[in-house]
Chains A and B, each alone.
Chain A
Amino acid sequence: MTATATAEPTRETRVQASPYRLTFVRQLRSELIKLTTVRSTWWSVGIVLLLTVGIAMMIASAIDMPGYPGIQAVISPIQFTMLLAGILGAIAVTGEYSTGMIRSTLSADPVRGSVLAAKSIVLAVFMFVVSLVTFLAAALAVSPILGSKDMAIDWSDAEMSVFPILAASVSMAVFALIGVAFGFLLRSGAGAIAATVGLLFVLPIVVSMFGMAGPDWQWILDAGDYLPMTAAQSVIIPQDGNGLDVSTGYLALAGWVVAGMLAAWAVLRGRDA
Chain B
Amino acid sequence: MASPHSVEAMITAEGLGKRYGDKTAVDDVSFTVRPGSVTGFLGPNGAGKSTTMRMIVGLDRPSTGRVTVNGQDYRRLRAPLTEVGVLLDAKAVHTGRSARNHLRAMAATHGIPSSRVDDVIDITGIASVARKRAGKFSLGMGQRLGIAAALLGDPHTLILDEPVNGLDPEGVRWVRQFVRHAASEGRTVLLSSHLMSEMAQTADHVIVLGRGKVLADAALPDLVRSWTTARVRLRSPRAAELSQLLSAGAASTSTVVEVTTSAPDTLDVTGIEASRIGDLAAERGIPLHELTPTTGSLEDAYLALTGEAVEYRTRGVETSDTDNQEPS
A110 interface neighbour in B37, B80, B154, B320, Cβ under 8 Å: B80
Q: Is the CB of A9 within 8 A of B34?
A: yes
| Interface flag for A247 (CB, 8 Å) | no
A109 and B95 within 8 A (CB): no
Contacting pair B104 A100 (CB below 8 A): no
A101 within 8 A of B: yes
A8 within 8 A of B: yes
CB <8 Å contact, A26 and B110: yes
Which B223-247 residues have a C-beta within 8 angstroms of A?
Answer: 224
Within 8 Å CB of B205, what residues of A? 6
- The 8 Å CB contact of B75, one of A14, A17, A26, A110, is A110
1/0 contact trace for B86-103 toward A, CB 8 Å? Answer: 101101111111100110
| Chain A contacts for B110, CB-based, 8 A | 20-22, 26, 108
Which A residues lie within 8 Å of B57 (CB)? 107, 110
B61 touches A272 (CB 8 A): yes
The answer to whether B220 and A2 touch across the interface, beta carbons within 8 angstroms, is yes
Which residues 58-105 of B have a CB within 8 angstroms of A? 58-61, 74-75, 77-82, 84, 86, 88-89, 91-98, 101-102, 104-105
Please tell me if the beta carbons of A37 and B89 are within 8 angstroms of each other in the complex: no
Does B200 lie within 8 Å of A34, measured CB to CB? no
A111-B75 in contact (CB<8A): yes
- B182-190, B208-216, B259-267, B283-291: which lies at the A interface? B182-190
Task: Tell me the bound Cα distance from A105 to B59 in angstroms.
Answer: 10
Contact of B109 among A95, A103, A108 (CB under 8 A): A108
B16 in the interface, Cβ–Cβ < 8 Å? no
A10 interface residue per 8 A CB criterion: yes
Residues of A within 8 A of B163 (CB): none
Asked whether B95 lies within 8 Å of A99 as measured between CB atoms, the reply is yes
Say if the beta carbon of A263 comes within 8 Å of chain B. Answer: no
- Closest-by-CB residue of A relative to B113 is A20
A80 to chain B, nearest CB (A): 24
Residue contact A17 to B5, C-beta cutoff 8 Å: yes
User: B80 to A108, Cβ gap below 8 A?
Assistant: yes
A9-28 CB contacts (< 8 Å) to partner B: 9-23, 26-27
B149 at the A/B interface (Cβ < 8 Å)?
Answer: yes
Beta-carbon contact of A13 and B79 below 8 Å = no
Residues of A within 8 A of B (CB-CB), count? 49
Complex partner residue of B4 from A4, A17, A29, CB under 8 angstroms = A17
Q: How far is the CA of A39 from the CA of B86 in the complex (A)?
A: 27
Nearest CB in chain A: distance from B13 CB, A: 16
Contact (Cβ within 8 A) B59 A107: yes
Q: Is A209 part of the contact surface with B, judged by Cβ < 8 Å?
A: no
For the complex formed, measure the closest distance between the CB of A5 and the CB atoms of chain B, giving whole angstroms.
Answer: 6
Note all chain A residues with C-beta closer than 8 A to B82: 18, 20
The answer to whether residues A12 and B80 also contact, given A19-B1, A107-B86 and a CB cut-off of 8 A, is no
Q: Is the CB of A13 within 8 A of B186?
A: yes
Proximity bits, A87-105, B CB within 8 Å = 1, else 0: 0000000011001110110
Write out the residue numbers on chain B whose beta carbons fall within 8 Å of the beta carbon of A17: 1-5, 7
User: With A1-B298, A6-B37, A101-B94 as given contacts, are A22 and B156 in contact (CB-CB < 8 Å)?
Assistant: no
8 cross-chain CB contacts under 8 A: A1-B201, A7-B204, A13-B9, A15-B186, A17-B3, A26-B111, A96-B94, A111-B75
